[in-house]
C-alpha cells in the first residue's frame, strides 16, 4: 500500500521513469511484432502438400546449419519409390527449381523470383496450380507459363535459362507463377534433389502421412509438415528477411540497452533527490530492507504501467515500421502485421525487469541513507563517487578498450556488431565514471566567469561540485545520445571512404559485365566474352578431418592457372579448417549429388580475388547446370559484348556506383537507428532535466527570498544545464573514438588502403544542439513554473 501511495502522491517524480519505460517498451514491442509477422510462411506453390521430405543439412564455417546435401538421381528415385507406397500418399514429386525468365521485346520480364522460377510440370500439383488452357509439356522445347504473362498456348516465347536465351513453344497456361517444363528437362537442368513433396489423397491426414514417411526415409533425411514446410523459401525472400531481421535485431538491441541505461540513470537520480524524504522514513523506524523494498516496488509499479502503455503504443506503431521496411526493400511487399501474445508479454517482462534491475542500484543507495539526512537538503551524498562505483567503472572501461581492440581484428561480418558492443560498454563506463569529471570540468568551465563578480557562475560551480552524482545522472542520456549518433554516422562515413578506395586499387584498368534485369549472367554471356575473369560459383559439400559434412563456397574458373580438370586450389585458411594439404585426394559432393575425387594441387595464401576453393569451370558446370555466373571482368583494351539482359560498365565507376547504392540503404538504416537512439535519449534528457529542476524547487525558493530575480534564477538553471550537456557530449564523443579507430584499422587491413577515422560533423552538431535545446527547454520550463508558483 505504501508503494501505491507513493506512486500516487509523487506521480510527477515518477513521470520521467514512466515515459522512459513506455518509449522503450513501445520500441521493443514494435520490433518484436514485426519480427513475428515476418516469420516465414508456407510458400503458396507448396500449400497443397501434406509433407515435405528434405535431405540432411550441412554446417557452414560458423557451425550453423545451412544448405541441404542433395540426393543424386539414384538416391532420389529410390526414396520416391518408398514414399509412393506410404498409405494416403497420392503423389511423391521431386520439386526442382532453376533459373527461368521470359524475354519480351528484347528485355527480361521483371521477376524477383526468376532465379527459382523454373520447375518440372509435376510441381504444379503442389499448390495446386491448374491448367487454364492447353496441355502439359512433353518435348524439350515446350513450356507451360503463368496466364498473367499474356502469352497464349501455341505462341513462341524466348525464355532465358542458365545456358542463355532459348526459344520455346507455349503449350499451356496455369493459374499460378512459374515456368513449367517436362519433368525430364527439369531433371537435366537441376539434377540434384533437395525436396520431395508428398501430396495426400482425399481424406488422408497429413500427420499420419508424415509419420509413415519418417519411417520410410529413416536417417536419409527429415520430414516436415504443417508450418514446418515454411523452411523451404525463395532465395530472394530469404535475403530480404535476413536484412530485415538484422535491422530489427539492431533496433531491439539498441532499444533494450538504451531503456536499461536511461531507466537506471533516472531511478538513481530520482532516489538521490529523495534522500531527505528517505531519511525521514528511517527516522520513524523504517529499516534499510523496508526502504529497499519500497524503491523496488515503486520501480515495479512504474514498470508495469509504462509497459502496458508502451505495448499499446507499439502495436499502433507496427504498421508504420512495416511500411518503412518495405520501402527500404528489406521486407516482403505483402508483409501483413499480426499481433500475437508473446511479443507483448516479452516486451512487458523486459520493461518490468529493466525497471526493477535498474532500481537495484538506487535501492542500495536508498537503504544506506542515515536518519540524520532528514534534516539535510536532498543531495546525492557526500562523496562524489563510491569505491564500488569507481572499481566497476574502471573494470567496464577496461572491457570496453578490449572490445575496441577486437573491433580492429574482427571478421568483416562481425566488425560493425563489435564496434556497437564496444561503444555500449564504453557508454556504461563513461556514465559510471562521470562524477570524476564533473567537478574538475565544472570548476574549469566556470573559472573564467568568476572574475566578473557575478554570483551565477559561483552558484553553478558550487552546485555541480556538490552534486556530482546528480549531474552525472543528468549527463548520462546525453552520453548515450551523442555516443550512438557519432558511432553510427561515423561508421557510415568511414565505410564510405574505405570500400571505394579498396575497389579502386583492385579494379583499375578493367570493365565489368553485369546482369541487368536478371539474377545473374548466363553461359551465353560468358561465351560472348571469352577473355577475362568469369567465375562460376557453386556450393560444394566436403568432409572435415573429424568426418562431419560441411558446405563451402567454391568457384569454377576458366583461368588457365586454376582450370585444371580433377584438381583444386585452396586458400590457407580453408585448408587448415578442413584439415587438408597439398597432394591429398579429397572427395567433393556437388549440387547434383555426385561425389568426385579431386587432388589438392596447391594451398596458397588467401586471396579473395582468386577464391578460397577453386576448381575447373567445366567440372562445376557439369555437376551444377543450374548455377549462374558472377560478373565478368574484362581488360579495358578488350571490347566487351553486351548480350541482352546485361550491361557494361567501367569497373571502378561501377564499384563506386554499386557502393553508393548500398550506402543509400546503409544510410537509411543508420538514420533509423540514430533517430531511435537520439530520440529516446532526447526524451530522457528532457525528463531528467525537468525532474532535477522540480527537485530543486526549495533551492530556488531560498535564492528567490535572498533577492534573486526570475531572470537570474533562469540563467543559473540554463547555465547549469548547458554545462551538464557539454560534459555529456564530450564524454559521448570520447567513448566512440576507440571503436571507430579500431574499425578504421580493420578496414585498412581488408581494403589495403589507408583508411582514417571519419566523423560526420553535421550529424554531431545537430545531435548536440538538439540535446541542448531539449534540456534547456525542459529545465527552463519547470524552473519558470516553480518560480511562478512561488510568486502566487
Q: Which residues of 427-441 are buried (b: 16+ CB within 10 A; e: fewer)?
A: bbbbbbbbbbbbbeb
Query: What is the mean pLDDT of the segment spanning 459-484?
Result: 74
In tens, the pLDDT along 35-90 reads 888 888 899 999 999 999 999 999 888 778 888 999 999 999 999 999 999 999 99
Place of cell 520513524: 284
Best CA proximity match to 302, nearest among 12, 33, 680, 32: 12
Distance CA 48, CA 28 (A): 36
Distance CA 691, CA 171 (A): 76
Of 57-71, 269-283, 601-615, 752-766, minimum mean pLDDT range: 269-283
Cβ neighbours of 382 (radius 10 Å)? 8
Distance CA 32, CA 38 (A): 10
**Model confidence at 378: pLDDT above 50:** no
- 453 Rama sector, left if φ>0, alpha if ψ -120 to 50, beta otherwise: left
Best CA proximity match to 471, nearest among 443, 426, 435, 441: 435
For the chain, how many residues are written? 792
Distance CA 320, CA 326 (A): 10
The pLDDT value recorded for residue 521 is 94
Contacts by residues 662-671 (CB-CB < 8 Å, ≥ 24 positions apart): 663/492, 663/495, 663/496, 665/328, 665/329, 665/330, 666/492, 666/495, 667/492, 668/328, 669/247, 669/250, 669/328, 669/330, 670/488, 670/489, 670/491, 670/492
The pLDDT value recorded for residue 12 is 52
In tens, the pLDDT along 711-758 reads 777 777 778 788 888 888 888 888 888 888 877 777 676 666 666 677
Of 36-40, 153-157, 406-410, 671-675, minimum mean pLDDT range: 671-675
Distance CA 306, CA 309 (A): 5
- What angle separates helix 468-507 from helix 235-272, to the nearest 10 degrees? 160
In tens, the pLDDT along 513-537 reads 888 999 999 999 999 998 888 899 9
Q: Give SS3 for 166.
A: strand
Best CA proximity match to 307, nearest among 357, 363, 345, 360: 345
CB 50 within 8 A of CB 210: yes
Q: Confidence class of residue 4 from pLDDT cuts 50, 70 and 90?
A: very low
| H or E segment and range at residue 731 | helix 710-751
The pLDDT value recorded for residue 522 is 95
Grid cell listed for 166: 532459348
The pLDDT value recorded for residue 2 is 46
The pLDDT value recorded for residue 130 is 94
User: What secondary structure does DSSP assign to 474-494, as a single string?
Assistant: HHHHHHHHHHHHHHHHHHHHH
The pLDDT value recorded for residue 146 is 96
CA distances from 12 to 378, 489, 595 (A): 17, 35, 72
- In this structure, is the dihedral angle defined by the CA atoms of residues 318, 319, 322 and 327, taken in order, positive or negative? negative
The pLDDT value recorded for residue 441 is 77
Q: How far does Cα 333 stand from its chain's mean position?
A: 19
Place of cell 508502451: 310
Distance CA 128, CA 181 (A): 16
Q: What are phi and psi of 633, to 5 degrees?
A: -105, 120
Terminal CA-to-CA distance of the chain, rounded, Å?
34
Which strands form 222-224's sheet, in the order they lie side by side? 89-94, 196-200, 51-54, 222-224
In tens, the pLDDT along 201-248 reads 888 899 999 999 999 999 999 999 999 999 998 888 887 787 778 778
Query: What is the mean pLDDT of the segment spanning 339-352?
Result: 91
Distance CA 11, CA 466 (A): 27
**Model confidence at 192: pLDDT above 80:** yes
Distance CA 367, CA 362 (A): 9
In tens, the pLDDT along 392-408 reads 888 988 898 888 888 77
Of 315-329, 418-432, 469-483, minimum mean pLDDT range: 469-483
Distance CA 213, CA 224 (A): 10
Distance CA 427, CA 423 (A): 6
Percentage of the chain beyond pLDDT 90 is 36
The pLDDT value recorded for residue 97 is 96
User: What secondary structure does DSSP assign to 429-443, as a single string?
Assistant: HHHHHHHHHHHHHHH
Q: Confidence class of residue 303 from pLDDT cuts 50, 70 and 90?
A: confident
Mean predicted lDDT score pLDDT of the chain: 82
Q: Which one is predicted more confidently, 689 or 761?
A: 761
Percentage of the chain beyond pLDDT 70 is 78
- What angle separates helix 412-450 from helix 710-751, to the nearest 10 degrees? 150
CB 24 within 8 A of CB 314: no
| H or E segment and range at residue 527 | helix 523-528
The pLDDT value recorded for residue 366 is 60
- The angle formed by the CA atoms of residues 323, 413 and 730, to the nearest 5 degrees, is 80
Longest dimension (CA), the chain: 102
CB 17 within 8 A of CB 159: no
- In this structure, is the dihedral angle defined by the CA atoms of residues 691, 697, 698 and 700, taken in order, positive or negative? positive
**Model confidence at 300: pLDDT above 90:** no
Query: What is the mean pLDDT of the segment spanning 139-153?
Result: 95
Up-side HSE of residue 380: CA atoms within 13 Å toward CB? Answer: 26
For residue 110, give the DSSP letter. P
Distance CA 629, CA 161 (A): 12
**Model confidence at 697: pLDDT above 90:** no
Q: Give SS3 for 506.
A: helix
The pLDDT value recorded for residue 216 is 93
Q: What are phi and psi of 557, to 5 degrees?
A: -120, 145
Distance CA 597, CA 623 (A): 13
Place of cell 527429415: 222
Up-side HSE of residue 792: CA atoms within 13 Å toward CB? Answer: 6
Spell out the residues 6+ positions from residue 143 whose beta carbon is closer than 8 angstroms to its own: 137, 157, 159, 168, 169, 170, 171, 179, 180, 181
Query: What is the mean pLDDT of the segment spanning 427-447?
Result: 79
Q: Which residues of 280-294 are buried (b: 16+ CB within 10 A; e: fewer)?
A: bbbeeebeeeebbbb
**Model confidence at 7: pLDDT above 50:** no
For residue 634, give the DSSP letter. E
Tell me the whole-structure pTM to 2 decimals.
0.76
Grid cell listed for 541: 559439400
**Model confidence at 377: pLDDT above 80:** no
Alpha-helical runs (H) found in 533-580? 572-578
Amino acid at each position: 500500500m505504501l508503494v501505491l501511495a507513493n506512486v500516487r502522491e509523487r506521480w510527477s517524480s515518477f513521470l520521467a521513469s514512466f515515459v522512459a519505460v513506455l518509449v522503450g517498451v513501445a520500441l521493443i514491442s514494435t520490433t518484436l511484432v514485426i519480427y513475428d509477422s515476418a516469420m516465414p510462411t508456407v510458400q503458396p506453390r507448396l500449400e497443397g502438400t501434406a509433407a515435405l521430405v528434405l535431405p540432411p543439412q550441412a554446417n557452414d564455417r560458423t557451425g550453423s546449419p545451412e544448405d541441404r546435401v542433395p540426393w543424386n538421381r539414384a538416391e532420389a528415385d529410390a526414396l520416391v519409390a518408398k514414399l509412393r507406397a506410404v498409405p494416403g500418399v497420392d503423389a511423391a514429386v521431386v520439386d526442382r527449381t532453376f533459373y527461368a525468365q521470359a524475354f519480351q521485346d528484347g528485355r527480361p520480364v521483371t521477376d524477383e523470383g526468376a532465379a527459382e522460377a523454373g520447375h518440372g510440370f509435376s510441381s504444379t500439383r503442389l499448390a495446386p496450380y491448374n491448367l487454364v488452357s492447353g496441355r502439359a509439356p512433353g518435348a524439350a522445347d515446350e513450356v507451360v507459363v503463368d496466364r498473367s504473362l499474356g502469352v497464349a498456348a501455341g505462341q513462341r516465347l524466348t525464355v532465358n535459362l542458365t545456358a542463355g536465351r532459348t526459344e520455346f513453344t507455349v503449350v499451356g497456361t496455369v493459374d499460378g507463377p512459374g515456368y513449367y517444363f517436362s519433368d525430364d528437362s527439369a531433371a537435366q537442368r537441376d539434377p540434384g534433389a533437395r525436396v520431395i513433396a508428398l501430396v495426400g489423397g482425399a481424406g488422408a491426414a497429413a500427420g499420419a502421412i508424415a509419420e509413415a514417411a519418417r519411417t520410410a526415409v529413416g536417417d536419409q533425411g527429415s520430414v516436415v509438415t504443417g508450418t514446418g514446410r515454411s523452411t523451404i523459401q525463395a532465395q530472394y525472400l530469404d535475403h530480404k528477411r535476413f536484412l530485415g531481421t538484422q535491422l530489427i535485431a539492431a533496433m531491439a538491441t539498441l532499444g533494450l540497452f538504451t531503456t536499461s541505461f536511461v531507466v537506471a540513470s533516472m531511478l538513481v537520480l530520482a532516489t538521490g533527490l529523495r534522500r531527505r524524504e528517505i531519511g525521514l522514513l528511517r527516522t520513524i523506524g523504517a529499516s534499510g530492507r523496508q526502504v529497499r523494498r519500497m524503491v523496488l516496488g515503486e520501480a515495479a509499479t512504474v514498470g508495469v504501467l509504462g509497459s502496458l502503455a508502451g505495448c499499446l503504443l507499439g502495436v499502433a506503431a507496427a504498421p508504420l515500421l512495416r511500411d518503412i521496411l518495405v520501402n527500404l526493400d528489406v521486407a516482403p511487399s505483402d508483409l501483413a502485421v499480426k499481433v500475437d501474445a508473446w511479443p507483448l508479454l516479452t516486451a512487458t517482462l523486459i520493461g518490468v525487469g529493466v525497471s526493477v534491475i535498474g532500481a537495484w542500484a538506487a535501492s542500495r543507495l536508498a537503504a544506506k541513507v542515515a536518519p540524520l539526512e532528514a534534516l539535510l537538503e536532498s543531495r546525492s551524498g557526500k562523496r562524489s563517487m563510491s569505491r564500488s562505483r569507481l572499481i566497476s567503472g574502471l573494470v567496464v572501461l577496461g572491457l570496453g578498450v578490449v572490445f575496441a581492440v577486437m573491433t580492429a581484428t574482427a571478421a568483416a561480418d562481425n566488425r560493425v556488431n563489435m564496434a556497437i558492443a564496444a561503444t555500449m560498454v564504453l557508454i556504461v563506463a563513461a556514465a559510471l565514471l562521470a562524477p570524476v569529471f564533473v567537478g574538475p570540468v565544472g570548476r574549469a568551465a566556470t573559472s573564467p566567469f568568476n572574475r566578473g563578480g557575478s554570483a551565477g557562475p559561483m552558484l553553478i560551480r558550487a552546485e555541480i561540485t556538490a552534486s556530482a552524482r546528480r549531474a552525472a545522472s543528468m549527463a548520462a542520456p546525453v552520453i548515450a545520445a551523442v555516443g550512438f549518433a557519432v558511432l553510427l554516422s561515423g561508421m557510415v562515413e568511414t565505410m564510405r571512404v574505405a570500400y571505394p578506395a579498396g575497389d579502386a586499387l583492385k579494379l583499375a584498368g578493367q570493365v565489368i559485365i553485369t546482369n541487368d534485369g536478371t539474377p545473374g549472367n548466363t553461359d551465353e554471356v560468358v561465351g560472348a566474352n571469352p577473355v577475362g575473369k568469369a567465375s562460376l560459383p557453386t556450393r560444394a559439400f566436403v568432409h572435415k578431418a573429424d568426418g562431419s559434412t560441411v558446405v563451402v563456397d567454391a568457384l569454377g574458373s576458366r583461368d588457365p592457372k586454376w582450370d585444371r580438370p580433377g584438381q583444386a586450389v585452396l586458400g590457407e585458411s580453408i585448408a587448415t579448417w578442413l584439415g587438408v594439404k597439398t597432394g591429398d585426394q579429397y572427395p567433393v559432393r556437388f549440387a547434383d549429388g555426385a561425389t568426385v575425387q579431386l587432388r589438392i594441387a596447391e594451398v596458397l595464401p588467401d586471396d579473395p580475388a582468386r577464391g578460397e576453393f577453386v576448381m575447373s569451370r567445366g567440372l562445376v558446370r557439369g555437376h551444377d547446370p543450374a548455377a549462374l555466373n558472377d560478373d565478368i571482368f574484362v581488360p579495358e583494351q578488350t571490347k566487351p559484348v553486351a548480350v541482352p539482359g546485361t550491361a557494361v560498365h567501367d569497373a571502378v565507376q561501377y564499384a563506386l556506383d554499386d557502393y553508393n547504392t548500398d550506402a543509400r540503404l546503409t544510410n537509411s538504416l543508420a538514420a533509423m537507428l540514430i533517430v531511435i537512439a537520439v530520440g529516446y535519449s532526447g526524451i530522457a534528457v528532457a525528463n531528467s532535466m525537468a525532474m532535477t529542476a522540480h527537485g530543486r524547487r526549495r533551492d530556488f525558493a531560498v535564492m528567490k527570498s535572498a533577492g534573486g530575480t526570475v531572470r537570474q534564477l533562469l540563467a543559473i538553471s540554463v547555465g547549469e544545464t548547458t554545462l551538464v550537456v557539454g560534459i555529456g557530449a564530450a564524454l559521448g564523443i570520447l567513448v566512440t573514438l576507440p571503436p571507430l579507430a579500431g574499425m578504421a584499422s580493420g578496414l585498412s587491413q581488408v581494403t589495403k588502403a589507408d583508411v582514417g577515422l571519419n566523423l560526420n560533423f553535421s550529424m554531431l552538431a545537430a545531435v548536440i544542439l538538439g540535446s541542448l535545446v531539449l534540456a534547456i527547454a525542459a529545465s527552463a520550463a519547470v524552473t519558470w513554473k516553480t518560480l511562478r508558483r512561488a510568486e502566487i
